[in-house]
Homo-oligomer: A and B are copies of this chain.
């Protein structure tokens, strides 16, 4: 499948907000964020909406409106972003119920569910190890500031 890029967009947006804040720009509009991601402002607002519902960013309305981080970038992990933007499990079970008259068809789903749960736990544990501040630091090292 063409893997979706929502996690990438979400992390990019937060890293950019974190850098702007460090530079004294506490609030960014979706237009300004979209310029860095190079996509449409509505796409960014959709992503920021997910992040806002998860409590990772706050929004200001009215004149001088825009977005900022809800807490320090050290305290937002990539796992937080993953949970904010992703609702589907990593692996899907059968689209249609397998044949329940077959012993394999009858028992395979719970058996596979255990394996998939383990894989999800592994991914989450790994994503939790990295914060937005970590990503921003590595990003700036690569881009040479």
Q: Which A residues contact B (CB, under 8 angstroms)?
A: 1-5, 7-9, 11-12, 15-16, 19, 35-39, 78, 88-99, 102-108, 110-112, 114-115, 118-119, 121-123, 125-127, 129-130, 135-136, 138-143, 145
B38 engages A96 (CB within 8 Å): yes
A110 to B141, CA, bound (A): 10
Asked whether, in the complex, the Cβ of A139 is within 8 Å of the Cβ of B78, the reply is no
Grouping DSSP codes into helix (H, G, I), strand (E, B) and loop, the A interface class, with mixed when no group exceeds half, is helix
Knowing A2-B92, A98-B37, the reply to whether A127 touches B119 (Cβ < 8 A) is yes
Closest CB in chain B relative to A99 CB, distance in Å: 5
- Given known contacts A15-B108, A119-B127, is B103 in contact with A139 (CB within 8 Å)? yes
Q: Which residues of B contact A96 (CB under 8 A)?
A: 38-39
Residue from the list B8, B15, B36, B125 in contact with A93, Cβ < 8 A: B8
Give the nearest-CB partner of A145 in chain B.
Answer: B103
